[in-house]
Amino acid sequence: MLTSKAAHTELIKSEAKRLGFLSCGISRAAFLEEEAPRLEKWLQNNMHGEMGYMENHFDKRLDPTKLVEGSKSVISLLLNYFPSEIQRGDTYKISKYAYGTDYHFVIKDKLKELLHFIQTEIGDVHGRAFVDSAPVLDKAWAAKSGLGWIGKHSNLLTKQVGSFYFIAELIVDLELKYDTPVTDHCGACTACIDACPTQAIVDPYVVDGSKCISYATIELKSQIPSYFDNHMEDWIFGCDICQDVCPWNRFSKSHNEPLFNPHPELLSNSKKEWEEITQDVFNEIFKKSAVKRTKFEGLKRNISFLKEQNIHSKTNLK
**Looking at residue 30, what DSSP letter applies?**
-
Beta bridge partners of 113: none
Q: Which alpha helices (H) appear in 19-145, and where do they start and end?
A: 35-44, 58-62, 103-121, 138-144
- R_g of the chain, CA atoms, integer Å: 20
Contact yes or no for 248/185 (Cβ under 8 A): yes
Determine the Cα angle at 289 with ends 216 and 282, to 5°: 80
Contact yes or no for 230/184 (Cβ under 8 A): no
Please tell me which residue in 132, 138, 173, 240 is annotated as part of the active site: 132
Q: Catalytic: 203?
A: no
Residues 6+ apart with CB under 8 A from 142: 25, 76, 78, 148, 156, 167
Beta bridge partners of 165: 80
CB-side neighbour CA atoms (13 Å) of 102: 15
Which amino acids are annotated catalytic? 132
